[in-house]
Structure 1
């Protein structure tokens, strides 16, 4: 029996350049701004919302705040009594919240869900934020001697690609440069006004210094405050929504396919599992393959753009072959050919991605789906991919411990 369709009615993203603590604001304000902005953007009646799911990674550490469902209920009088839950899967927290909301709708339990993602991390020093983010490693078992746990671990991924296929830093740097350039088109991007020089994307210790191993400053996603909210609906509610607004129901996007896998916690265990196999992360490849199967699509040639998880340039590099844009290990070909550039055959991260747009951890998976919605409805503004009808996402938590993919299309 085919699952019921889940429709995306739109949403709202905060400005990822904001430092909310400097304005005397807290995580509740980010969440409220996201949800109220989504209500205004979609003109949905707050009384229609039947359930809420919130993605957040480290509210207890970054904001000293848990119980985020209660914060949701405090946003609007209509939300008092609405069932709400918080979901955590490191950087994939937002995507897990989406999957949970989809289950509610597919089961027939509810017709309209609010999915929000929120994170506040710029209220603490950078070193402290990096330490907090490190709890998504296996505490006490990996990255023990690292100053920065995640750059340390993803430097290991660079090593694995180098050992198996060979890799050049210039290709990683081009990914970063492309995403920073894409971000200049996005009015919500954290780095939209950043300036670089001719040495910023070279192996230059003054202008692009080393963080860990071969991971340099420009290769890293940004520590970001931010929130995103979207609305997911059943077919019945989506038809009502379209009718009341004079919209063509056929033009409302829906989630065409999804994939979700969880791998062993340690990066070394993941790498061992892939020895003598084509893909460095077979579970990531399987996640993407299952998404295409559920969407009744043959593969990446059926999508018009991809929003992927570039917490570091090497994770986007990994996504290239795992999506099937190139054969395994030939990722560099898509970079040199321009296939993944903004005007390329399959643009990756037209939004700017985590490197250019920013990475409020719990919000990232929700933001990706909102950007997919914008692309397929032609509402992405200056970063619109012409004629986009199907957009895929890839969101990973930890060292690809949790991997989630979606295809949103019309």
Structure 2
């Protein structure tokens, strides 16, 4: 069993460049604060895993597995490695740390997700992330690839089941509203009006197709950290876990979005490999479905990715995500709260940190420490983190 002993998230509204900060400063903050929350010193850490997606492309700085020891001398000599899997980079770091604990190799592992993205204007910064697609094969002639890709997801739902753009707008509105209560959310201070969630070309301009500004995430600087420990470590140190990882699922498919649609043509699910990752996690956790969950933190890089998550989790039947939206089931006080933190759209999306950030918020929920965005009585929370177009 893998336990979570401590967690930390930086303020995703911070812009490092404006304070003359850099990725080393971000690493130093998340290392020190995550260890402090866990109540351990750096000398207790036996292994380190760093999730980072685009380090060299945004900052020129690579070899980020060595950065924790660079900023914290007590970590000198501790084995460390960096993981890249686009938006799922720090989730892969978590899985690697869990594997080490479950194999008995180490008993105390520090996992970090780190990304500095605000090193250039918004357009070029967004273009950097095209590297997570199949470059030169599906990216030619497309200015902003990821809004294009998730507009394609919305289009596939429309083709198979029909889709109302107002339901996508409602997802964005809910997550931005939830973020108002999150002291680390990137958008918490944004001034929004009802027009911000309408087809208003001034208040909510078109980004790609049916997707508008508040259907997409922002460029974000941020980091998140978790300390993973074994049952043996807890017993030896007479400590209790903040949370326990009950189950996990992990599937990988090819890069191109067209291949995903072609291969799912005979499935009720638009992305059946995502559904399988979810049900694998349920099986490992020994639960039957979402009726045994109290909340979900899911990947809403664009509103169609959350629309997909709703039916793929089984909150509704395939193609009927709109029902949960209309019925208010996803609200923080609904029967299946989704992204009570604000998710990626409201909370921010420093790409390499997102998977770890989801675990931070899941841990806060089940330990009753989420503050103003706490889901009452939350005991079991699921997360879903995807990389690229769900590869």
**Correspondence for 2:90:** 94
Residue 253 of structure 1: how far off its partner (Å):
1.7
CA distance in structure 2 between the partners assigned to 1:144 and 1:208 by the alignment: 26
Work out whether residues 143 and 153 of structure 1, in 8 Å CA contact, stay in contact via their aligned partners in 2. no
Q: TM-score, normalised by structure 1?
A: 0.94
**Correspondence for 2:389:** 399
Q: TM-score, normalised by structure 2?
A: 0.99
Runs of 4+ aligned structure 1 residues displaced above 4 Å come to none
Partner secondary structure for residue 96 of structure 2: helix
Work out whether residues 143 and 152 of structure 1, in 8 Å CA contact, stay in contact via their aligned partners in 2. no
Asked if 1:274 corresponds to 2:270, the answer is: no
Partner secondary structure for residue 101 of structure 2: helix
The correspondence for 1:185, drawn from 181, 193, 198, is 181
CA distance in structure 1 between the partners assigned to 2:332 and 2:190 by the alignment: 19
Residue 277 of structure 1: how far off its partner (Å):
1.2
| Structural mapping, 1:219-298, within 5 Å | 219-241=215-237, 243=238, 249=240, 252-298=242-288
User: Which consecutive residues of structure 1, in runs of 5 or more, have no partner in the other structure?
Assistant: 402-410
Residue 10 of structure 1: how far off its partner (Å):
1.7
| Structural mapping, 1:245-394, within 5 Å | 249=240, 252-394=242-384
Work out whether residues 6 and 39 of structure 2, in 8 Å CA contact, stay in contact via their aligned partners in 1. no
> Would you say how many aligned residue pairs link Structure 1 and Structure 2?
391
Partner secondary structure for residue 195 of structure 2: coil
Work out whether residues 53 and 85 of structure 2, in 8 Å CA contact, stay in contact via their aligned partners in 1. yes
CA offsets 1:188-220 (integer angstroms, 9 cap, x no match): 000001011121101111111111111110000
CA distance in structure 1 between the partners assigned to 2:295 and 2:120 by the alignment: 35
CA distance in structure 1 between the partners assigned to 2:372 and 2:338 by the alignment: 15
Work out whether residues 108 and 230 of structure 2, in 8 Å CA contact, stay in contact via their aligned partners in 1. yes
CA distance in structure 1 between the partners assigned to 2:364 and 2:242 by the alignment: 11
User: Which consecutive residues of structure 2, in runs of 5 or more, have no partner in the other structure?
Assistant: none
CA distance in structure 2 between the partners assigned to 1:10 and 1:238 by the alignment: 12
Asked if 1:153 corresponds to 2:144, the answer is: no
Residue 75 of structure 1: how far off its partner (Å):
2.2
Work out whether residues 58 and 128 of structure 2, in 8 Å CA contact, stay in contact via their aligned partners in 1. yes
Residue 239 of structure 1: how far off its partner (Å):
2.8
**Correspondence for 1:34:** 30
Partner secondary structure for residue 397 of structure 1: coil
CA distance in structure 2 between the partners assigned to 1:239 and 1:352 by the alignment: 35
